[in-house]
Structure 1
Amino acid sequence: MLDILIVDDDRHIRELVGYYLQNEGYRVIEAADGNEASELLFSRNIDLAIVDVMMPGKDGFQLCEEIRRYYDFPVILLTAKDQLADKERGFSVGTDDYLTKPFEPQELLFRIKALLRRYQMVSAESIKLGDTIMNRKGYEVHCKGKQLMLPLKEFELLFQLASYPGRIFTREELIELIWGIDFNGDDRTVDVHIKRLRDRFKDNHDIIITTMRGVGYKLEAASS
């Protein structure tokens, strides 16, 4: 199930959009302003964000810019403004699409589905961190001319963390993302696989997996 974040200070808009999204099978996460959204982004795995431009505190332009700096998922800006200058600013800070209020919910759904398809088609097949390259197709890791083949789950776990450097993933999130929601084991499975990855890459300073006590793990890409 895909998680879609709705950020709007108008509760009625959040409820309306959320209703249509839930009917389409999406999981809805709501934030009443940009600051609340920033906190959610830090702890949740978001697949797409629908962001209102005019909000108190951190506005939609600022939030979109933040998303582009730290995350990699599509953004749709919602606004009551239909001025070309506002659209230009929206695209300049990284929005993928722009929809003017009032809008038809069905049109929003069409745009969401189109963006999700596009992101799926261009999703990274490889990740480069320093001198280390991870290739999703072959489940291979290359570093300084050497090739390392990882067991499937270890590679998927590493690739997930490396896709969002600096982002904290809880053990529960990693279980669901890597092993699936029907997994019968416990979150110690994540700890065991993290230990194996650390042992494999203990001499590789491109990949540093940090434990966030009581929360989960994050991968820190060493600065080049």
Structure 2
Amino acid sequence: MKQLKGIKLLLVDDEPTILQFLELGLLNEGFEVTTAPDGMTAVTLAKQIQPHVAVLDVMMPGMDGFEVCRMLKKIGNIAVIMLTAKDEVDDRVKGLTLGADDYMVKPFSFEELLARIHARIRNHFPHLMEEVTAGPFSIDDRRKEISLDRRVLELSPTEYELLKFLLINHGLVLSKALILDKVWGYDFGGDENIVEVYIRSLRDKLNDREHRLIRTIRGAGYRVDFT
């Protein structure tokens, strides 16, 4: 990925050691980082600095992460990654319903968090980047074009949106339900097998007959790998 231009992150966690660890790591990656030890402080700071991405702990005293997420989404176009120590489906559903863009369970690796932050930036703020690249691919969202090794692919509008979503989230497993929501829209009333049809078409156009690029993760969804 090319050089980012002034990306602002807001880190929210009531555990000082976690907050300091993430702050140092993300500052070292070149981000502008602001920290908050609680929900009320986070909301106040978000209004002032208008962060691009908020990394938000769920379990906090006072205002919990769910309420903070809801308020951040009212403030502006803030991509929210929620952190929790509880790997429970109900919590994930609640957070995503309130507008969270991603969800991670503690403990997690810094490298995975960094990958997810980059994915949110590529998805929400492509205009802040000199060039959106993912492995051998280049994404030009203004022209709605994706190039592979500098060759522009011939894609339908839906194929473009699907491949873009897969690429900006490369390395992550994406379920059919999530793909339908993000590419076709939450109100899509068709069969989720439409995803398989379009994946097959993309594989043909990418000469990915052995499924080494777009991998099927049995029972979970799809993942793009560049290795």
Provide the TM-score with structure 2 as the length reference: 0.53
Aligned to 2:128: 122
Residues 178-189 of structure 1: matches in 2 within 5 Å?
178-189=183-194
1:183–1:191 CA distance, 2 compared to 1 (3 A): same
Q: Are the aligned partners of 1:4 and 1:46 in contact in 2 as well (CA < 8 Å)?
A: no
1:47 aligns with 2:101: yes
Deviations 1:23-76 (A, max 9, x none): 56579886543x859xx7xxx89637899xxxxx84xxx7555411454267xx
What is the distance in 2 between the residues matched to 1:71 and 1:20? Answer: 18
Q: Hey, what does 2:114 align to over in structure 1?
A: 68
Alpha-carbon distance change, 5 to 183 in structure 1, aligned in 2, over 3 angstroms: farther
Amino acid at match of 1:7: D
Instruction: Check conservation: 1:129, 1:207, Cα contact below 8 A.
Output: no
Conservation of the 8 A alpha-carbon contact between 1:4 and 1:29: yes
1:5-44 equivalence runs, <5 A: 6-7=56-57, 10=60, 12-13=61-62, 15-22=63-70, 31-33=83-85
TM-score normalised over the length of structure 1: 0.54
Which of 210, 215, 222 is 2:220 aligned to? 215
Percentage of matched positions with identical amino acids: 22
Report the Cα distance in structure 1 between the residues aligned to 2:128 and 2:212, rounded to whole angstroms.
Answer: 24
Paired positions, count: 161
Q: Paired residue for 2:160?
A: 155
Distance 1:65 1:122 in 2: 22
Q: Distance in 2 between matches of 1:192 and 1:165?
A: 20
8 A Cα contact 1:154 1:197, kept in partner: yes
Q: Take 1:211 and 1:170, find their aligned partners in 2: how far apart are those partners?
A: 10
SS in 2 for 1:22: helix
- RMSD after superposition: 4.3
Query: For residues 207 and 129 of structure 1, what CA distance do their matches in structure 2 show?
Result: 13
Q: Is contact 1:70–1:164 with CA below 8 Å preserved after alignment?
A: yes
- Which deviates more from structure 2 when the two are superposed, residues 191-200 or residues 134-143? 134-143
Cα distance in 1 for residues equivalent to 2:149 and 2:111: 34
C-alpha spacing 1:202/1:49, structure 2 compared with 1 (3 Å): closer
Shift of 1:214: 1.5
CA contact 2:213–2:225 (8 Å) conserved in 1: yes
The answer to whether the Cα contact below 8 Å between 1:18 and 1:28 also exists between their aligned partners in 2 is no
Which amino acid in 2 is paired with 1:129?
G
CA distance in 2, matches of 1:25, 1:70: 18
Q: Offset of 1:215 from its aligned partner?
A: 1.4
Distance 2:145 2:187 in 1: 27
Contact conserved, 1:129 with 1:206, CA < 8 A, in 2? no
Amino acid at match of 2:69: L
Larger-Rg structure: 1
